[in-house]
Structure 1
Amino acid sequence: MKRNLTGLLLVILGLGFARLNAVAAENKEEARFLSNTRQLIFEGKRSGEGYFSPDGKTLIFQSEREADNPFYQIYALDLTSGDIHRISPGTGKTTCSFFRPGNDEVIFASTHLDPKAREKQKAELDFRASGKERRYLWDYDETMDIFSAKRDGSNLRQLTKSNGYDAEGSYSPDGSKIVFCSLRAAYPLENLSAEDRKHYETDPSYFGDIYLMEADGSNQ
């Protein structure tokens, strides 16, 4: 029995060292391209898609950290003080935030106007509480629209109102225009051919097109 335990311990230690060696190799490979890397976000289940403000003093990012909402919300990190505050309303899903050059505004995509937003939050919380895990899959929520707001979250304005997913927006260098992705060409779904309906059900991004609009949402 003692010999078996010793053997098991050696196997576990061997696996641990193998993992450490693999991590070291990954870090060495990463160091070829990146230096002085630092972790900026520590709270929340996951965070990502961060962008620096034009002056480099603030980071805007999405994070899952609200107790009653399992989906991403948009936050701003003051890189001097370390203070973090939420910009988005706190309901529904959000993604794709960006700073407007020369202005105090930001844009992001959100589903907070979806009448079923809180219902979807509860369903996801219940699913996670069951101990199950989903593989990563972007769902191209058809209630996703683009909004602008001040950096403190005030003056929230809806910029897109078409049927289907509108997101992934970025400002032009002068801040006058927004380029974004939209699946509006797929709607109404009942008008799609059988072949196109199959495309939509298999991969909605098949209908993704690039659109341009003014910063106030006009001329789409």
Structure 2
Amino acid sequence: MRPLLQLLLFGAALACSLPAAALVPFVAQYDVYRGGSELGEATMQLSPSDAGRWRIDLTMRGTGLMRIAGINAEQSTVFDTVGDTYRPLSQATLRRAVFTRRQRTGIYDWSARQARWQGDVKKTRQAPVPLQPGDMSGLLINLAVIRDAQPGRTLEYRFVDDGRARVHRYLVAAEPEPVKVGDLSYNALRVSRLHSDADETVIWVVDGVPTPVRILQRENGSDTYDLRLTEYRGNE
């Protein structure tokens, strides 16, 4: 499974429409689907930490037989704010399957201008990654998309996560479209990122909602993960 959603989830050098101080703590609950079949549940949480820092977490849990098959994954990023940017300080990922447990952690050393990952990391991704102002983890890009999405806008972020760095570009739809999630209907902006000719991530953003109402990831034309918001609340 991809770092979710790495999903979700990618680093920014973009001027922001809102100041970073506008961050609002929340807890959001999602149902997780693949190809129309329910796989489990996910929770995304943003909470303040010590010394002006913040933490964002994404946890996925399988339900029923999927609990055994294992879509169980946890991701977190601790970050602070510098001006209008979200600056990652540390990142952690944990995945569990039936007989395996894979864990990796990353440290963003801004004084040395490099990030490094350890644990279950591919050999090709163990070298330090040079950092640039505006770099973000996958989870922080999720927050940036919520903050920056405006009709017709192109968003560009530099993703630095899991021992690699690359630029990700998103296209925001020209106008909102109706999106039905469970029993609720929203007018949401579609924000699309094309990974390659075969892979795509789509995030639907609603004005006033601090988390995506839906996140869809496709590979080779088939849905890989489809997270649909069921509930969110403030977490003061």
| TM-score in same-fold range (> 0.5) | no
Q: TM-score, normalising length from structure 2?
A: 0.24
Name the structure with the higher helix share.
1
Alignment TM-score, normalising by the size of structure 1: 0.26
Structure with the larger RCO, 1 or 2 (CA within 8 Å, 6+ apart): 2
